[in-house]
Structure 1
Amino acid sequence: MSNSRTTAKAGAAGGPRPAETTLLSGQAVPAHFGDPHAEAGAARVDATMFDRSDRALLRVEGADRQAWLHNLLTNDIKRLTPGQGCYAFACDVRGRVQFDLNVLCDSDALVLDSAADRRELLHKWLDRYLLSERATIATEDSLGRIGLSGPRAVEIVRAIAGEAAAALAEFGHCELSGASAGERLVRHDFAGSVGFELLVRDIGAWWERLAREHGVRPAGLIALDALRIEAGIPWYGREIDERTVAPESGQIGRAIVYDKGCYLGQEIVERMRSFGNPARRLARMRVQGDADCDIPAPLTLNGTECGRLTSLSALGDGATRAGLGFVRFAIAPGALLVLGESGREVQLL
């Protein structure tokens, strides 16, 4: 999340007006709508909607699309059938994560969902490996996106899209009934709680409908960041980057399937599993004090550096804040670390 915020002139086209905007993945999104603590609280016990303009799509078509991407990504792309999806990494030959993305399977295409500021890079990276395969890659810019998250999200989706939509597994997706061609609903627990994303053309109409008919309040990036940190969800550019070896990410089983066969970087990823645990792991943390700090920040144990804090929630309880970062694999939950030179105590969860 950018630290540069400006007073908003408008929200998502036709949507509610945020109190402040900020940048995420190169896109202007609401920072908050007046009370980020209340926005996060609503997401925990009710339902909130988020501007998800920070995401962007690529569409891969052609007879070889599934087999080709299966050989490039860490998840099992061949097993996907229309209406299913998954989370995956694209790695280099050293097993280091170059991109993270959601893959949605349609009957005639695979739709790749990535951070907006990474889409062009992902497109170019994929092009490098497109040789004789019958596959084409194109950008998809006709749809906007609203995220819906919270315990009441299932009830709301049931009302607007039916029982089958409400029962979707994560990354499952379906067309929105009565919507124009290509508009869809995706199950995506992007904030930790049960969540959905609406990929639609008229964002303003959907903001208004969700608020008017279902009493959903808008929430901004400050609340979203706090929620995903509490849930232990890593973001590319914060926790994950080109130096992260895939198994360190904490996404084994979610993004990495070990028995799928060969893919780019698979030898290193498999070697880490066969010969022991990775050197470090992603960990949720509770940081003492209710103040900001420069991120990333080193973590020490008994005076020796043992990890780093990569994300710190802006929403504390007055005494502590949620954090996310990496520590040496052998350090167990409950351990007490020290944050940088501040002396603030950090407890691993």
Structure 2
Amino acid sequence: MNSTQFLETLQALNPVLGTSSEGGAFVEHFGNLASELDALESSAVVCPISQLRRIRVSGNDRAKYLHNFCTNNIKELAQGHVCEAFFTDVKAKIIAHGLIAATDECHEIWTLTDDEQPLVNHLNRYIITEGVAIESDADEVSFFALLGPEAPAMLKASGIAEDSNAAAGTCSQSPAATVIHVAWNETPTVLLATHEPQELWNKLLAAGAVPSGQTIFEHQRIREGFPVVGVDVSSDNLAPEANRVAQAISYTKGCYLGQEPIARIDAMGHVNRKLFRCNAVQTADAESPSDLPKITSHSTATADRFPALIMLPVKQSRSDQPIHAVCGDGQVVVIELCK
């Protein structure tokens, strides 16, 4: 992996750096958030992503095994396709969340986390005689996101993927990269894993992508409502509380770890709280911040009005009264829930 040259390339662009919870540095942006945000809306940006991990599940029984330990229907996931899923304990509490891609050689789990090892340990714990091997290769590859309406066209122009016109919910592999196509907030989104970050970066810039950082990636993730475990949801949350039922939970797949509580929730018709997408506006007119619900994630790409995620009681979400909340940095906001 030509990571040293790539880091030098990024440093030459004078990036604004942030620090992850694990102490690692990442690119927040390249000095002009407004232009990066404009490119997200009008063309496409390419973002190096530090908070992505990939777990490879191989062996003849891999589809059956994953099917038994996540919330989506992996047995019906055709080769070259992708689905979203939660991994839960027997009580349906969230252990991990991510995308599962069915490739030629294995199934890959792509998860937004600083530490994928708990999920690796969880899945390995149940292997007895199955023909399954589970390992992370996140230290061996670099991850990128290509976001924006022109993302498919730029991917095609770059020559990185053999099938550059693939639809959302598909994946492909080439010598240059493994590619996952999704659509976040109705915007084409391409996630890439590569052993040659410098080559991939150069090709995407040559195709017209604008260099961007994780601030824009987070902006789009939050607008989509794609949760990060340990930030937006945790082991205290039931999988349906993440509010990704349509995308990540199958009620027809049969038995799996955590299936019974999730089926009971379906029969009841609701959970008591959910993770909601919202737009937030700063305000000084509020009660004590300590009494307010907490924003779990919010975008810093815009200042006056910004997308955010918040865990709220379902009853409160239906109220006609203004909802005040507090961000992690202490600012008080009024939120408007997204439909």
Question: Do they fold alike, i.e. is TM over 0.5?
Answer: yes
Match of residue 43 from structure 1: 40
TM-score (norm 1): 0.83
Q: Secondary structure at the match of 2:294?
A: strand
Could you say what secondary structure the match of 1:22 adopts? strand
CA RMSD of aligned residues (A): 2.7
SS at match of 2:308: strand
Are 1:25 and 1:116, in contact at CA under 8 Å, matched by a contact in 2? no
Q: Distance in 1 between matches of 2:107 and 2:189?
A: 21
Matched, 1:70 2:61: no
Q: Which has the higher helix share?
A: 2
Shift of 1:123: 1.1
Q: 1:58-95, CA deviations, whole angstroms, 9 ceiling, x for partnerless residues?
A: 22122211111101100101012221121111101111
Equivalent residue for 1:20? 16
Give the aligned partner of residue 217 of structure 2. Answer: 224
- SS of aligned partner of 2:65: helix
Q: Distance in 2 between matches of 1:270 and 1:157?
A: 40
Q: Distance in 2 between matches of 1:219 and 1:166?
A: 23
**Alpha-carbon distance in structure 2 between the residues aligned to 1:79 and 1:233:** 23
Q: Name 1:85's counterpart in structure 2.
A: 82
* Equivalent pair of 1:290/1:321 in contact (CA under 8 Å): no
Which residue type is aligned with residue 164 of structure 2? A
> Superposed, which structure 2 residues align to 1:207-246 within 5 Å?
207-211=201-205, 213-246=206-239
The one-letter amino acid of 2:16's match is E
Cα distance, 1:169 vs structure 2: 2.6
Equivalent in the alignment of 2:180: 186
Deviation at 1:119, TM superposition (A): 1.5
Quote the offset at 1:10 in angstroms: 8.7
Structure 1 residue runs of 4 or more that deviate by more than 6 Å after TM superposition: none
Q: C-alpha separation between the residues in 2 aligned to 1:91 and 1:239? A: 16
Matches within 5 A, 1:37-186: 37-140=34-137, 141-161=139-159, 164-170=163-169, 172-176=170-174, 179=175, 183-186=177-180
How far is the alpha carbon of 1:237 from its aligned partner?
A: 2.1
User: Per the alignment, in what secondary structure is the counterpart of residue 338 of structure 1?
Assistant: strand
Q: Which amino acid aligns with 2:171?
A: H
Q: CA deviation at 1:346?
A: 2.3
Inter-partner Cα distance in structure 1 for 2:309 and 2:90: 27
Distance verdict in 2 for CA 1:192–1:31, change over 3 Å: farther
Conservation of the 8 A alpha-carbon contact between 1:11 and 1:30: no
Q: How many residues align?
A: 323
Cross-structure match for 2:322? 336
The structure-2 alpha-carbon separation of the partners of 1:343 and 1:103, relative to structure 1 and needing over 3 Å to count, comes to closer
Alignment pair present for 1:284 and 2:277? yes
Unaligned runs of 5+ in 1: 1-8, 300-306
CA shift for structure 1 position 22: 1.7
Does the CA-based 8 Å contact 1:58-1:139 persist in structure 2?
yes
| 1:129–1:335 CA distance, 2 compared to 1 (3 A) | farther
Task: Measure the CA separation in 2 of the matches of 1:34 and 1:82.
Answer: 41
Query: Percent sequence identity over matched residues?
Result: 25
